Chains A and B, each alone.
Chain A
Amino acid sequence: KAGVTQTPRYLIKTRGQQVTLSCSPISGHRSVSWYQQTPGQGLQFLFEYFSETQRNKGNFPGRFSGRQFSNSRSEMNVSTLELGDSALYLCASSLTGGADTQYFGPGTRLTVL
């Protein structure tokens, strides 16, 4: 089976712009979670989608949003980018979420200038 894929792998934006990141889960996986990873804060949970519905949400401002499509692919959007949004954005998929093992994609490295 192909693993979790994320596009793009690298992205450079300027403050105030918006960005959309994409995640394709492992075939058959219906849960997709998104995380922000920074050197100082580790992995911070953003949100989880299951069957096109947001099931859990972390403590991030409303500028961070996401969605999931019927084929389980997911996108996350960050509007009005700030310098502090520079990070590695990881998505992880699992069969049904919950206690299932999560499989991570390679991440998208976002740099905000």
Chain B
Amino acid sequence: GQSLEQPSEVTAVEGAIVQINCTYQTSGFYGLSWYQQHDGGAPTFLSYNALDGLEETGRFSSFLSRSDSYGYLLLQELQMKDSASYFCAVRAPSGNTPLVFGKGTRLSVIA
């Protein structure tokens, strides 16, 4: 089976940088995704890493190290609207298997 670990809560100051880590244990691996969910809203796709390295999309970056079974989401220049839950999700062992989500990290951005 697959399991993912991520911190349950993170608090950061507006304008700062925050990193949300995700470690996974899977039998096979196809890719790591990140989703954002605001209270009362639907999860929305942020990024996807299939290969090692950093993917950058504006203020958000995602990193993957397959040898360490580890990834992180980096949020820069934090804004109050970034307060949300962030989920990492893994697809394993192949591309046709369903996403398995971590339990989410609640990010609170404070002034």
Contacts and interface: CB of A to CB of B under 8 A. Distances in A.
Interface stretch (A13-21, A67-75, A96-104): A96-104
10 interchain residue pairs of minimum CB distance? A42-B103, A104-B42, A43-B101, A99-B95, A98-B95, A45-B98, A56-B98, A104-B43, A98-B96, A101-B45
B67 to A, nearest CB: 21
Interface footprint category on A: 20 to 34
Nearest to A44: B101
Contacts, number: 51
Interface in B79-101: 87, 89, 91, 95-101
Contacts of B31: 99
A106 B41 contact: yes
Contacts of A92: 43
Contacts of B91: 99
B60 interface: no
A11 to B, nearest CB: 16
Contact of A43 (B87, B95, B97): B87
A24 interface: no
